[in-house]
Structure 1
Amino acid sequence: MSTAPTRLTRNRDYLAWLAADTSWQFGSAVHGFAMTLICYAVTGSYAQAGAIATVSTIVSMVVMVPGGVLVDRWDRRRSLMISGALRMVVYAAAATAWWAGVLTAPLLYAVGVASGVVTGLFSGASDAALRSVVGTADLPRAVASNQGRDGAVSLAAPPLSGLLMGASYALPFLTASIGSLLQMLCTRRIRADLRPRHDRPSPGQDTWHQEMLAGFRTILGSPLLRRILPALILVNAGLNALYTGVTLILTGRGVPAWRIGLIDSVMAVGMLIGAVLAQRLISRVPTGRLVVTIFIACTAVLVPVALTQSVPVVLACFGVLGLLVPAVNGAMGGYLQAIIPDELQGRALAAMHLVQMTLPGLMPAAAGLGLQHLGAGPTMAATLILFPAAAILMATHRELRALPTPDRWEIGTVEP
């Protein structure tokens, strides 16, 4: 059974983990906002700028599952230190190349590929380490707090990146490099043992191929995960399609870019506030009831966005969505990390992230084609199918509805 929850602010290891995770996330967000603009400035081509970002994403997806094996084989402290060192070197080299006047398209492709490899191989290490620094009952509140952190990063990183670019296009790269250095320094402050706990036979007894498949077997072997994952895919696909559709429609109507950008801002503010509210909800409301209720609420909130793309309506709905997201992600994300055994964290989370990225990744293109050939009305109405379908999958699963509060969870219950 789970232990009783504690105050996260009193957990020095969690605070060190949070500082490490925030440092590289913020640096990467500053770099990510600037990367496309820098690529266009260097190449003078929209196609090249988009291709470099696409290559980085594809590379990250390709190595994500092998990366999960590494995360489960190695001390996660080592993975965090190596990833921080590699990012620091890559981004520092890019900054130096800009200052030296030798940053070319091939070098930008190399930066994109290198950052994609590091992200794919090691991004799961931080999430996997979280379970070692907080108790199981604290996992949902920690995940919810991270959602608030993500909201703060989303608010602060783009404008700071723009300011830095005004001084020098090298500075976003330098900021990302410094963030990676801080990640390494903060990781060293974590006192907990971050080595995977192998309660079952060592993964070294399996072949590399078998280890990579273990994450997928974990998902398929659990009736609960088999129901949760399709619901998450549907809602993420719906959000991607809806967001892309709204953005394109508003752009076509001549709405200024700064007003469209407010969508992200109000959602980020909602997440900041929602992260505070989520702490009480997660500890007091049974997890199953909380998740199902919020999924249904999200469906209701997004219907007006699909039916009318009025800017005030869109902003209001996405603001409310931001309030709801930390609680559902904290409860569901914390539960998923709790039931997956420690020695499978890297592989199972990598498999889930890869599966979740595939269909949602196709939605921007699908939304664009729909708007081009079907028009705004049918395209936006089609997105409404995805949200109720996700809510129904959640609401009709008895085991999910029966999940208790985190202090009563059974942990490590999913077999590979």
Structure 2
Amino acid sequence: MATPLRSNRDFRLLWMSGLFAVLGSQMSALALPLLILKETGSAVQAGTVGTVSICAVLITMLPGGVMADRVERRRLMRVCDAGSLLAVTALTVAVWNGHAPMVLVLLVATAGAVLNSVYAPAAFGLLRAVVPPDQMGTATARLQARTATVRLVGPLVGGALFGIHEALPFTAQFLGLFLSTVCVALVRTRSAAHKKAGSVFSRDELTAGLGFLWQLPYLRTVLLVFGLGMNFAFGALTFTALAVFSEGGRSGLGGGFVITCVSAGALVGALLAPRLSPDRHIRALLVVTCWSCVLTAGALAWLSSPLVAGLLCAVCMGLSTVASIGFLSTLLVVTPEDRVGRVQSAASFLSSIVQPFGPLAGGALLTALGPRNAFGVVGVVLAVSAAVMTLAPSVRSGAVPPPASPAAPEAGAEDSDAPGPHEPAVRPVLDAPGQREPAVRPVPDAAGPGAL
């Protein structure tokens, strides 16, 4: 009989590690642009940090997956821990000294993004060794619920600390990372390193994750339609709602309520997921989520109440979170052990690459067509995606894994508390299963249907 998650020592450590690290990251996510604006007075420079961070993540995501499959994952996580602590320490000291040079901020943001690209697939793979397949859905839901809660609370705490002293949010992030590092250092479970002949970053290695996703019609369809199409359209939908219900920027109350409801919906969805067994009802959840977004877009075209709009968006986000948890659990189970890192990186790459363009498209539609027509166009895009998810044979058939590579005997083994002779002495964090927050996270994630 499998050990319950509440008694699973290593899962509890990974959960707490993420709690500390995400909380610290969320506090600094609000404080960093405020700091740059205060020191430079330039919104362009504040935006540059976010752009650099996003670009660094996208560029290094696939190589990070290769590293996670070539190096023992717990060891790799500890190395990333040390790098993240070093980066955040440098920024914290600079802010306490009264001046954080723009060059330092960019370097720290880039380092955080690169380390995130390596840490996330390593943690994703280690989670598979820590949690048995029949508990993966519940474990994923608990990680999502933790992160959704912190993302509601963290910016508020960070803003309050920044009001007291501009260095306090970064100090809090340092403390969070330190506690997170301790938790990861205490994890005993190890996963095997899969060493192969040839170049580490060859074309075949970099595209192995994409190739695996492409060869399974179910994974391919869900990621392209739900991960890309729905994610893009929901980003446009929420930005348009933010602009419309903020009365073009004259009042932030209505738009802020809508966005808060979206975050609350993600939290409620994560809390409900363990009771709904999303990995067993994934197709129904995907279809219901898609059509709910279509109906919401149609309703927003005629609504004038931020309250109703926020509640509709919250329902969409809650359903999306449950569906995403089910899909992620399925992905972890069907992926061969020696490709977990590359597959996770490839899935994250596909679902992330369109996120910056959703709000841009929403703004362009709103400017060119006005609110009602903008919601209408977004609704059409959502309807096309929903129709594909409903009718596609590949989605109805579900995920049928190809013959998996034999698991290495070392996977899932536990070591003693003492570090091994080749381990670094020593971190950052689990989001959705295995996602880590960058050391510096200057802009919030664009969350929506298909956000994996």
Same topology, TM > 0.5: yes
Evaluate the alpha carbon distance shift between residue 14 and residue 204 of structure 1 in structure 2; reply closer, same or farther with a 3 A threshold.
farther
Matched, 1:329 2:335: no
CA contact (8 A) 2:236 2:361 kept: yes
Q: Does 226-235 or 4-13 show the bigger shift?
A: 4-13
Letter in 2 for 1:130: L
Note if 1:193 corresponds to 2:190.
yes
- Structure 1 partner of 2:148: 151
Counterpart residue number, 1:98:
95
Report whether the alignment pairs 1:61 with 2:58: yes
Match of 1:229 among 201, 211, 223: 223
d(CA) in 2 for partners of 1:412, 1:41: 54
Q: Deviations over 1:193-250 (max 9, x none)?
A: 2335x5xxx4444552121111121122221122111112111101111111111223
Amino acid of the residue matched to residue 121 of structure 1?
Answer: V
**CA spacing shift, 1:362–1:189, aligned 2, 3 Å:** same
**Equivalent residue pairs, number:** 403
Give the C-alpha shift of residue 258 in structure 1: 4.2
* 1:278-298 deviation line (CA, Å, top 9, x unaligned): 112117953333433343334
1:159-206 CA-partner distances (Å, limit 9, x unpaired): 00001101221122222222221221111232222335x5xxx44445
Q: Which secondary structure does the structure 1 equivalent of 2:353 belong to?
A: helix
Partner of 1:169: 166
The letter for the 1-side match of 2:323 is V
Instruction: State the shift of 1:102 in Å.
Output: 2.9
Q: Does 1:397 align with 2:392?
A: yes
Q: More deviation in 264-273 or 68-77?
A: 264-273
Give the superposition deviation at 1:25. 1.9
Match of 1:183 in 2: 180
1:208 alignment counterpart: 201
CA distance in 1, matches of 2:389, 2:104: 46
Q: What's the secondary structure of 1:208's corresponding residue?
A: coil
Whether 1:220 aligns to 2:214 is: yes
1:399 positional shift:
4.6
1:262 equivalent to 2:257? Answer yes
Identity %: 26
- Shift of the 251–225 alpha-carbon distance from structure 1 to 2, 3 Å rule, reads same
Q: 1:378, CA displacement in angstroms?
A: 2.2
CA contact (8 A) 1:145 1:326 kept: no
Counterpart for residue 119 of structure 1:
116
Could you report, residue by residue, the CA deviation over 1:252-298 in whole angstroms, capped at 9, with x for unpaired residues? 44553244222333233333333232112117953333433343334
Q: Tell me, what secondary structure is at the counterpart of 2:354? A: helix
Looking at structure 2, the residues matched to 309 and 214 of structure 1 have their Cα atoms a distance apart, in angstroms, of 48
Contact 1:64/1:121 (8 A) holds in 2:
yes
The whole-number CA distance in structure 1 between the counterparts of 2:358 and 2:279 is 36
Change (3 A) 1:222 1:332: same
Counterpart for residue 406 of structure 1: none
Q: Does the C-alpha gap of structure 1 residues 34 and 387 become closer, same or farther in structure 2, counting only changes over 3 Å?
A: same
Match of 1:314 among 309, 313, 317: 309
Rounded to whole Å, the distance in 2 between the matches of 1:410 and 1:79 is 30
User: 2:142 corresponds to which letter in structure 1?
Assistant: S
CA contact (8 A) 2:246 2:256 kept: no
The residue that corresponds to 1:292 in the other structure is 287
Q: Report how far residue 402 of structure 1 moved.
A: 4.5
The answer to whether the 8 Å contact 2:84/2:112 transfers is: yes
2:12 aligns with: 15
- The 1-side partners of 2:199 and 2:107 are apart by 33
- Quote the offset at 1:107 in angstroms: 2.1
| Corresponding position of 1:361 | 356
- 8 Å contact 1:304–1:313 — kept in the other structure? no
Q: Is the 8 A contact 1:85 1:180 kept in 2?
A: no
Output the CA distance in 1 between the equivalents of 2:219 and 2:278: 22
**Greater mean deviation of Cα atoms: 388-397 or 181-190:** 388-397
Q: Which amino acid aligns with 1:389?
A: V
User: CA offset at residue 106 of structure 1?
Assistant: 2.1
Distance 1:284 1:131, change over 3 A: closer
Change (3 A) 1:363 1:309: farther
Aligned match for 1:276, one of 264, 271, 285: 271
| Partner SS state of residue 385, structure 1 | helix
| Alignment of structure 1 residues 330-345 onto 2, 5 Å | 330-345=325-340
CA distance, structure 1, for counterparts of residue 278 and residue 17 of structure 2: 26
Root mean square deviation of aligned Cα? 2.4
Partner Cα separation in structure 1 for residue 402 and residue 82 of structure 2: 32
Cα distance in structure 2, aligned partners of 1:19 and 1:338: 23
Q: CA deviation digits over 1:49-95, x for unaligned, max 9? A: 11111111111111111111111111111222122221211112111
- Residue in 1 aligned with 2:408? none
Which deviates further from its counterpart, 319-328 or 376-385? 319-328
Which one has the bigger helix percentage? 1
In the alignment, structure 1 residue 83 sits paired with structure 2 residue 77: no
